[in-house]
Structure 1
Amino acid sequence: MGIRSFLAKPLSAYVVARQEKWAKNPEVSQEKVFQTIIKQAQHTIFGKEHDFAGIRNHTDFVQRVPIRDYEGFKPYIEQILQGKEDVLWRGKPLYFAKTSGTTSGVKYIPISRDSIHNHINGAKNALLNYIYETGNADFVDRKLIFLSGSPVLENKNGILTGRLSGISNHHVPAYLRSNQLPSWETNCIEDWEEKLEKIIDETLHADMSLISGIPPWVQMYFDRITARTGKKIKDVFSNFSVFVYGGVNFEPYKAKLFDSIGKKIDSIELFPASEGFFAYQDKFHPDHNGGMLLLLDTGIFYEFIPTEEYFNEKPTRLTIGEVELNKNYALVLSSNAGLWAYSIGDTIKFVSKNPYRVVVTGRIKHFISAFGEHVIGEEVEKALKYALDQFPETEVLEFTVAPQVTPTEGLPYHEWLISFAKEPKDLTQFAQALDKKMTELNVYYDDLISGAILRPLVITRLQPNAFIEYMKSLGKLGGQNKVPRLSNDRKIADVLYQWKI
């Protein structure tokens, strides 16, 4: 046992003990965060405009501060970019996390000196929870790889700006930096495919124990290694034991990923975003019912809007003590980064209240409702898992779903565009299993099928590299970029047709 793994065990016990204190007092923890951030932002431009000095409770806050997405914050961000201080939070942001939006173009999300700890400690504490629960600390003595964006930052009027994963790279603890791969020089390469080849050069003969990244890009890394060596990943990295991921549901990728590795390994799920680090997996025993522990004391105050009310003029805004289990909510946050009643676009569902654990169910703007069915990401992912369980020989690389409203013949339908690594033995029966589960999960979809408004879903097979090529065409290959699971139009589907089999 090395010094790192030896010290990690008492540290993990300390972190879990502190965690249990706030997890057992969720409403008190959130109220403390709320009162603290409101008081600290009273004298900002935003705080003065919204009478933060007069806010005593959540009801006051709701009356003064409407829900906004990035577009609503753009005027304030522009002031910060022009050099103004005390706009959304005290002073200037420490960083801007640069991300791309569908309607806003490039988005600049502020990260303050107060909020950076939330981003850094979230990932660290997730690993410590894993060590505490499993006793496996050996991985910290070996090589660790984080498949992330470039750490190169640009200066925008005194504020360092770059991708969140690149910013986080600057805050990797010193005791882990000597174990971290790839090298700084390689991590700075912008072109993903060039970067990937260099990463393989550096890691192929290293004693890798932990790999972290978005599953489809990790799969691409594994595929390239196997193409070079002809070996399964377990025969290349014999001590690889922990996979860390976030941003997407792991289930659609699991079978292919584990097949590439050659064995099942432990995995840790995270819920990070440019706006904050919200939750992480804290339990790892086989009978754990899933879900990630929602972080309630890290400078973020949460509100939850029932998804069916999200587009109402005045939707219900619930606090942590008012939520229900197994109900979809749009996640809204206010934080010590200077975001106020900010809708991040993700939807979540609580699977536990003791403590509060969540699963990510999709994106509020990613759905199919061409006929009023309002199919969401959670439903298509559950349906796919069901079909994969029925046809265990099947491996899916990537997929997306779109409506076909005006087919050349027959009734309209939902089109599933899928890249298979291994196809089901009977594609027709696989599609029937998918459709059966969809009718069970979504009563509106069931009504449309039984009422002969829609015909059963259609699977369109795409080449294995289809989604890689599609993301490359957008300049979004690798890093933290993700393919939308659902679209309510044909924009993505029609482009993907060029890789149709």
Structure 2
Amino acid sequence: MSIKSFGAKIFAKRIRKKIDKWANNPIETQKRVFEELLKSASNTAFGRDHNFTKIHTHDDFVKEVPIRDYEQLRPYVDRVVAGEDDILWPGKPIYFAKTSGTTSGVKYIPLTSDSMPTHIKAARNAILCYIAESGKASFVDGKMIFLQGSPELVEKNGINLGRLSGIVAHYVPKYLQKNRLPSWETNCIDDWESKVDAIVEETANENMTIISGIPPWVQMYFEKLQKKTGKSIGELFKNFELFIYGGVNFEPYKATFEKLIGRKVASIELYPASEGFFAFQDVQGEKGMLLQLDSGMFYEFIKADEFFEENPKRITIADVEKDINYVMLISSNAGLWAYNIGDTVMFTSTSPYRVIVSGRIKHFISAFGEHVIGKEVEQAMKEATEATGAVIKEFTVAPQINPKDSELPYHEWFIEFQESPKDIAGLEIQIDNALRKQNTYYDDLITGNVLRTLKVRSVPKDGFNEYMKSIGKLGGQNKLPRLSNDRKIADSLMTGIGK
């Protein structure tokens, strides 16, 4: 056992105890974070505008601070971007995480000297929890790869900006620098396909032990490695032990990954975003990720089916329940206040508080009142592929509101198969039944002959990559929406299908 792996085991036990301390005292922890946030920001422009000095309870906060998304917070953010001090948080941010929004164009999410360390600690602690639980640490001596955006930053009014994954690349600890791949030069390549080709060249003969990234892009990396070497990933990287992922649900990709790797590999799910590092999987075999209650973020939740009401009820973790779809709001030491990040979550446990990401509040299908969410389509796909033996590479779903030939409307599933099922019609029935079992509104529409059962469209090989490339979002942290309430993606894919 190396000194590094021995030290990692000792450190992991110490960190696990610290995590357990706040995780076992969740209400008190969130109360402390709430009070610290208000006190710290009381003299900012936002704090003065919203009477922070007069806020003592959550009810006070709800009265003074309305829910905002980026566009609604933008008047304050624009002042920060222009270089003003003490607007949303004391001083100025140290970075802006640049993201692209569907309605706001480019978004600049502030990262402060107080918030940035929480991103790094959470990523580190996810690995340490795995070490503490499993007792395994030899992988820290091997090579690690993090498929991420370019670490090159540009300056805007004295503040560096870039993609979050690129910013985080500047914070890799010194003791891991020699283990990290790819090289800085390769990481800076903009074109995603060229970048993956270069990463394949750099890593094919290395002792890779940890591989991390968004599943569809790691899959592309694995496929290119296999094509180059003729070996499974497990053969090529005999000591590959840990796959770390986030951004999308891994379940739809799991069968493909196991086939590419050739054996099972432990995995850790993360829930990072530009707005904060919200949760990570702290226990193997446990459903859900541990909500980070001690990371400078105060959480509020609104039942998703009440969110679009005029004054939806905002609750804290003290009042959440398991298996209910909630919109998550955050207030943070990055200067975001009652901020709607756009995600919906479900609690799988309230002792401790663990969540799964169930979808996006704007990514759903309710063209007919069914309100189908991401978690439901992913679960339906999982059940159907297990039943039929099909292996999928990627998929998305959209409504077909005006079909030809006086046919009833339906949901249209666009699927790129790794291995096609013997019977597409059988797969359609399996998916439809699994979806109806989960969503009573959808079931009622089928039963009432408002909708017909769904249809599957087979997308040609690399069809989704071609679509993402056509809109300038191939690779990096970009994700294909699982659900759309319109036909924008569907119509583009139909052109490629030629139907």
Partner of 1:500: 497
The alpha-carbon deviation at position 464 of structure 1 amounts to 2.0
Partner of 1:199: 199
SS in 2 for 1:284: coil
Q: Of the candidates 394, 398, 405, which is equivalent to residue 398 of structure 1?
A: 394
Partner of 1:36: 36
1:383-403 CA-to-partner distances (Å, cap 9, x unmatched) read 001101212x31110000000
Contact 1:24-1:355 at 8 Å conserved across structures:
yes
Contact 1:307-1:329 at 8 Å conserved across structures:
yes
- Opposite residue 322 of structure 1, the aligned amino acid is D
Contact 1:397-1:464 at 8 Å conserved across structures:
no
Q: Distance in 2 between matches of 1:106 and 1:50?
A: 26
Q: Distance in 2 between matches of 1:127 and 1:395?
A: 29
**1:130 and 2:130 matched:** yes
Which consecutive segments of 4 or more residues in structure 1 shift more than 4 A? none
SS in 2 for 1:424: coil
Please list every run of 5 or more consecutive structure 2 residues that lacks an aligned counterpart in the other structure: none
1:457-485 CA-to-partner distances (Å, cap 9, x unmatched) read 00000012011111111111111110000
Partner of 1:161: 161
Q: Distance in 1 between matches of 2:366 and 2:232?
A: 42
- Opposite residue 159 of structure 2, the aligned amino acid is I
Equivalent residues, number: 497
Q: Distance in 1 between matches of 2:118 and 2:309?
A: 31
Contact 1:204-1:236 at 8 Å conserved across structures:
yes
The alpha-carbon deviation at position 270 of structure 1 amounts to 0.3
Q: Distance in 1 between matches of 2:283 and 2:82?
A: 45
The alpha-carbon deviation at position 351 of structure 1 amounts to 0.7
Partner of 1:54: 54
Q: Distance in 1 between matches of 2:317 and 2:403?
A: 45
Q: Distance in 2 between matches of 1:319 and 1:486?
A: 28
Partner of 1:88: 88
SS in 1 for 2:161: strand
SS in 2 for 1:231: coil
1:92-149 CA-to-partner distances (Å, cap 9, x unmatched) read 0010000010011110000000000111011100000001111111111000000000
Q: Distance in 2 between matches of 1:171 and 1:394?
A: 41
- Opposite residue 444 of structure 2, the aligned amino acid is D
Partner of 1:146: 146
Q: Distance in 2 between matches of 1:273 and 1:111?
A: 11
**1:370 and 2:328 matched:** no
1:182-226 CA-to-partner distances (Å, cap 9, x unmatched) read 001110111101111111111010100010000000000011111
Partner of 2:403: 407
Partner of 2:115: 115
- Opposite residue 93 of structure 2, the aligned amino acid is P
SS in 2 for 1:375: coil
- Opposite residue 150 of structure 1, the aligned amino acid is S
1:11-56 CA-to-partner distances (Å, cap 9, x unmatched) read 1001110011101110000000000010000000000000111111
**1:426 and 2:423 matched:** yes
Q: Of the candidates 330, 333, 338, which is equivalent to residue 333 of structure 1?
A: 330
Q: Distance in 2 between matches of 1:351 and 1:78?
A: 38
| TM-score normalised by length of structure 1 | 0.98
**1:477 and 2:474 matched:** yes
List aligned pairs for 1:61-460, cutoff 5 A: 61-285=61-285, 288=286, 290-391=287-388, 393-409=389-405, 410-460=407-457
SS in 2 for 1:487: coil
SS in 2 for 1:367: coil
Q: Distance in 2 between matches of 1:118 and 1:353?
A: 22
1:415-466 CA-to-partner distances (Å, cap 9, x unmatched) read 0000001011211111100001111111111011011110000000001201
- Opposite residue 401 of structure 2, the aligned amino acid is V
SS in 2 for 1:362: strand
Please list every run of 5 or more consecutive structure 1 residues that lacks an aligned counterpart in the other structure: none
1:279-338 CA-to-partner distances (Å, cap 9, x unmatched) read 0001114xx3x0000010110000001001111121110001010111010010000000
SS in 2 for 1:18: helix
